[in-house]
Structure 1
Amino acid sequence: MRRLAPLFLACCAVAPALPAHAAEALPEKPVTLVVPFPPGGPTDAMARTLAAEIKEQLGQPMIVENRAGAGGNIGAAFVARAPADGQTLLFGTSGPLAINATLYRRIGYHPVKSFAPVILVGQLPNILVVHPALPVRNVQELIAHAKAHPGALSYASSGNGASSHLAGVLFNTLAGTRLQHVPYKGTGPALNDLLGGQVSMGFTDLLTALPHVKAGRLRALGIASAARSPALPELPSIAEQGLEGYDVSVFFGIVAPAGTPAQRLHTLNRAFAEALAAPRLRQQFAAQGLELPPTTTPEQFGAFILAQMRTWATLVQQSGAQLD
Structure 2
Amino acid sequence: MLTRRMTILGGGALMAAVGPARAQTFPDRPVRLVVGYPPGGNVDFTARLLQPAMSQALGQQVMVDNRAGAGGIVGTDLVAKARPDGYTMLLTGTAPVSIFPVAMERLPYDPLRDLAPIGMAYRVPIVMMVSKDITTTTLAAFVERAKATPGGMSAGTAGIGSGAHLAIELFNAGTNAGLVHVPYRGTGPALNDLIAGNIPVVFDQLSSALPLHMDGRARIIGIASATRSPLLPNVETLREAGLVQAELSTTLGLLAPGGTPSAVVEKLAAALAAALADPAVRDRLTSLGAMIPPAADITPAYYGQVVRDELDIYREAVRLGNVKLE
Q: 1:134-156 deviations in whole A, cap 9, x for unaligned? A: 23222122112212222222111
Q: After superposition, what is the alpha-carbon deviation per residue over 1:17-64, rounded to whole angstroms, capped at 9, x for unaligned?
A: x9xxx74331323x2222223333322222221123322112222232
Q: Confirm whether residue 28 of structure 1 aligns to residue 29 of structure 2.
A: yes
Distance 1:190 1:23 in 2: 50
Q: Distance in 1 between matches of 2:25 and 2:199?
A: 53
> How far did 1:235 drift?
1.5
Percent identity over the alignment? 38
- The aligned counterpart of 2:3 is none
Equivalent-residue separation in structure 1 for 2:190 and 2:126 (angstroms): 14
Report the Cα offset of residue 174 of structure 1. 0.8
- One-letter code of the match for 1:52? P
Q: Distance in 1 between matches of 2:127 and 2:151?
A: 21
Larger Rg: 2
What is the CA–CA distance in structure 2 between the aligned matches of 1:195 and 1:63, rounded to whole Å?
39
Describe the superposition over 1:91-133 as per-residue Cα deviations: whole angstroms up to 9, x where unpaired.
1222111111111111211111111111111211111101112
Letter in 2 for 1:171: F
Does the 8 Å contact 1:212/1:218 carry over to 2? yes
Q: Which runs of 5+ in 2 are unaligned?
A: 1-19
Map residues 170-249 of structure 1 onto 2, 5 A cutoff: 170-243=170-243, 245-249=245-249
Structure whose residues are more often helix by fraction = 2
1:312 aligns with 2:314: yes
TM-score w.r.t. the length of structure 2 is 0.87
TM-score (norm 1): 0.87
Q: In the alignment, is residue 302 of structure 1 matched against residue 270 of structure 2?
A: no
Q: For the aligned residues, what is the CA RMSD? A: 2.0
Taking the aligned partners of 1:244 and 1:263, their CA distance within structure 2 comes to 38
Residue matched to 1:97: 97
- Within 1, Cα distance between the matches of 2:111 and 2:227? 28
Output the CA distance in 2 between the equivalents of 1:305 and 1:291.
Answer: 16
Equivalent pair of 2:34/2:90 in contact (CA under 8 Å): yes
Q: Provide the C-alpha distance between the structure 1 equivalents of 2:51 and 2:232, rounded to a whole number of angstroms.
A: 26
Pairs within 5 Å for 1:83-162: 83-162=83-162
With CA pairs under 8 Å and 6+ residues apart, which has the higher RCO, 1 or 2? 1
The 5 Å alignment of 1:38-57 reads: 38-57=38-57
Partner of 1:164: 164
In 2, Cα distance between equivalents of 1:108 and 1:195: 39
Q: Which residue of 2 aligns with 1:321?
A: 323
What is the distance in 1 between the residues matched to 2:245 and 2:263? 39
- 8 Å Cα contact 1:154-1:201 kept in structure 2: yes
Q: Distance in 2 between matches of 1:34 and 1:195?
A: 36
Q: CA deviation at 1:208?
A: 0.9
Q: Structure 1 residues 52, 232: CA separation in 2 closer, same or farther (over 3 Å shift)? A: farther
